[in-house]
């Protein structure tokens, strides 16, 4: 199912972006001259649904906001007949208003039941904008569910869209059993959706959008997919505050900074002999075995003493795509705070966030790769 809804998340970026990333299934989309918006045709073709099943999008004229009003996140409401679901797809960051949402990354409070949780302020505002009971999105979702009594509701998206979708899922779900937000029932108290319907959120490259406690409560409601070294699921205001604290500490210890640079260049000389000519051996000696590794380990432990800011986490159950020498695997992350509480630097930390690589990896898994439930 994940690969299916990743195509929805990619399609929300529009035909030009799909072509740019090489995601278009054909050299050009078939965009006939009909009453349907060209983006609806492209969305339908990429997801494999009928264009008549695209019920609403931001490109429907009635959904346009007045001048001077921040637009709601780009969205599509559609039927997925094969899965018997109404699907609300939210686009990731592209326009200026999306960037403004990303930058409003201070923490806000979201009350669920009798408990207050910390969430991403900008994404919460985006979710509330879409959750207006009299707005076109809610009214279209409501009508679609009422027209199909056996259908459930799927919320999906990539990046920013996934974060807003996760918060919408929390806001639209009904709290069950006092401990878990469940996929079982829709809430009629806030937006008037039909009760007794399945609600599920599947997000890709989801940013840190809620605190760990709320994320754990959403385990049966939200599934997060992380591709490889994607850095976005580790980014929150707490990480920035940690970097600031570490930078202040290092600025007060200039000899430590010089030592770090000297030792790092020494490591590079040991791994790449061809670079030795660029660095004098006396100034940048090669590492001297386990002692060098111990020095770096002691350094990171010292830095972690300054990395104590409150952080948000990716929501729900989190699965990571990992590639080893022989296969691609999807593993369940048990300790979300530990894995996403620090930025892991790597060559693919930014490129792995691309919708193309998410689609490619999930397609490979869906074509027969076994997905073990192994923890990391």
pLDDT digits (tens, 9 = 90+) for 323-353: 777 777 899 999 999 999 989 888 899 999 9
> What is the residue extent of each domain of the chain?
2-234, 238-304
Listing DSSP states for 44-77 in one string gives HHHHTS-GGGEEEETTSGGGPPPTTSPPPPPEEE
Provide the pLDDT for residue 376: 44
Per-residue DSSP letter, 375: B
Q: How many CA atoms lie within 13 A of 80 on its CB side?
A: 23
pLDDT, one tens digit per residue, over 267-318 is 666 666 665 555 555 454 555 567 777 888 888 888 888 888 899 999 999 9
374 pLDDT exceeds 50?
no
- Which residues, at least 6 apart from 197, have a Cβ–Cβ distance to it below 8 Å? 145, 151, 152, 153, 185, 186
Q: What is the pLDDT of residues 205-258, one digit of tens each?
A: 999 999 999 999 999 999 999 999 999 999 888 888 888 888 888 888 878 888
CB neighbourhood size of 305 (10 A): 10
Q: Class of 2-234 per CATH?
A: alpha beta
């Amino acid at each position: 199912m994940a690969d299916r809804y990743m195509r929805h998340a990619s399609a929300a970026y529009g035909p030009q972006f799909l072509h740019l990333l090489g995601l278009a299934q054909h050299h050009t989309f078939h965009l006939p001259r009909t009453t349907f918006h060209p983006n609806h045709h492209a969305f339908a073709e990429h997801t494999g649904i009928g264009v008549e099943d695209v019920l609403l999008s931001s490109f429907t004229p009635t959904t346009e906001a007045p001048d001077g009003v921040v637009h709601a996140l780009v969205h599509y409401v559609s039927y997925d007949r094969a899965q018997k679901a109404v699907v609300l797809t939210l686009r990731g960051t592209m326009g200026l208003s999306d960037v403004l949402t990303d930058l409003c990354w201070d923490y806000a409070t979201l009350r669920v039941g009798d408990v207050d949780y910390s969430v991403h302020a900008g994404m919460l505002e985006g979710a509330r904008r879409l959750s207006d009971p009299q707005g076109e999105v809610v009214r279209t979702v409501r009508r679609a569910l009422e027209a199909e009594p056996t259908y459930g509701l799927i919320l999906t998206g990539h990046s920013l869209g996934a974060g807003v979708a996760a918060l919408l899922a929390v806001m639209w779900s009904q709290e069950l059993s006092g401990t878990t937000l469940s996929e079982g029932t829709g809430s009629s108290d806030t937006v008037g959706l039909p009760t007794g319907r399945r609600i599920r959120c599947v997000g890709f490259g989801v940013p840190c959008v809620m605190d760990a406690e709320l994320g754990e409560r959403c385990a049966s409601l939200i599934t997060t997919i992380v591709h490889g070294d994607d850095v976005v699921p580790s980014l929150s205001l707490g990480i920035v505050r940690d970097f600031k604290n570490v930078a202040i500490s290092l600025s007060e210890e200039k000899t430590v900074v010089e030592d770090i640079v000297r030792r790092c260049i020494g490591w590079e000389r040991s791994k790449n002999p061809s670079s030795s000519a660029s660095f004098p051996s006396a100034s940048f000696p090669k590492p001297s075995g386990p002692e060098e590794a111990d020095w770096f380990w002691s350094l990171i432990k010292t830095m972690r003493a300054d990395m104590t800011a409150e952080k948000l986490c990716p929501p729900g159950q989190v699965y990571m795509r990992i590639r080893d020498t022989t296969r691609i695997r999807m593993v369940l992350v048990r300790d979300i705070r530990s894995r996403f509480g620090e930025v892991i630097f790597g060559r693919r930390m930014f490129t792995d966030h691309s919708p193309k690589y998410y689609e490619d990896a999930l397609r490979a898994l869906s074509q027969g790769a076994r997905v073990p439930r192994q923890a990391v």
